[in-house]
Amino acid sequence: MQTPDISRMRAALEAFIVIGLFMANTAMMNFTTWFEVFDFLPILGRALPNVTLALLVIAYLYVRESGLGGIGVRRPRGGMAVLWWLVLAAAGFAATFYLIVPHAIPAGVTFLVETFGIEIPPPSERLAPLVGNLSLFLLIIPLMWVMAAFGEEVVSRGFILTRVARAFGAEGDRGWIAWAIAAIVQAFFFGMAHLWAGPPGMVFTFVTALLGAMVVFLARGNLWPAVLFHGAWNTWSLYGIYSS
């Protein structure tokens, strides 16, 4: 992993601003009705404000750092690197399927319900239009890869992760405590961003965000394996909803 070559104060300020905007979008999506204007695009419509945030982050990085290399969007160094990315993405998928879904989610939900008294909401109707709708499925999948798999990784496992790590004192790839704190921070806010999905969704996204950060670490700071893992799992999940 590599931290940006900026001061800790600037890194903290940048992280604070992006996290603030990210959570403001989350709060408005969950606690206001005007976000319904984005429902013209089923399933992904309410993610559009955060897609806008991702575009702003990308524009900022191109202006200040001449590209996205600083957050891990870099070309592979040969065929073995691509193979390693695929192995990491597949490992993340397998860990989610065999460990997170059957074990981590039930344990996390029980903890949230019993400790904080959080109620599990009824199933969201947000995904209902996809059931049996092939045309919508074919539309949603490529949009999901751009909006969620790439856009969310740029913001969370890219920008927020590297800025928080630098703010806590990481320099280059040194400072594992700072990187661990950054991984937890980005996972916490990513989980909170899925408040609409209730405790199961929050636990799932928190744990998979930690897993995504681990994938990025194992890829030496490259974001693409996390994008592949994110997109592959979402594709699998959306297909399950479509075929149900």
**Alpha carbons 29 and 23: distance in angstroms, whole number:** 10
Asked if the model's pLDDT at residue 166 lies above 90, the reply is yes
Cβ contact 140:148 at 8 Å = no
Q: What is the pLDDT confidence band of residue 239, given thresholds at 50, 70 and 90?
A: very high
Q: What is the pLDDT confidence band of residue 218, given thresholds at 50, 70 and 90?
A: very high
Percentage of the chain lying above the pLDDT 70 cut: 99
- Give the closest residue to 118 by CA, choosing from 126, 127, 109: 109
- pTM, entire model: 0.95
Note the pLDDT of residue 118: 78
**Alpha carbons 83 and 80: distance in angstroms, whole number:** 5
Q: What is the mean pLDDT of the chain?
A: 93
Q: What is the pLDDT confidence band of residue 32, given thresholds at 50, 70 and 90?
A: confident
Q: What are the start-end ranges of the H helices in the chain?
A: 8-31, 48-65, 79-95, 105-116, 134-144, 151-153, 161-167, 176-192, 198-218, 224-243
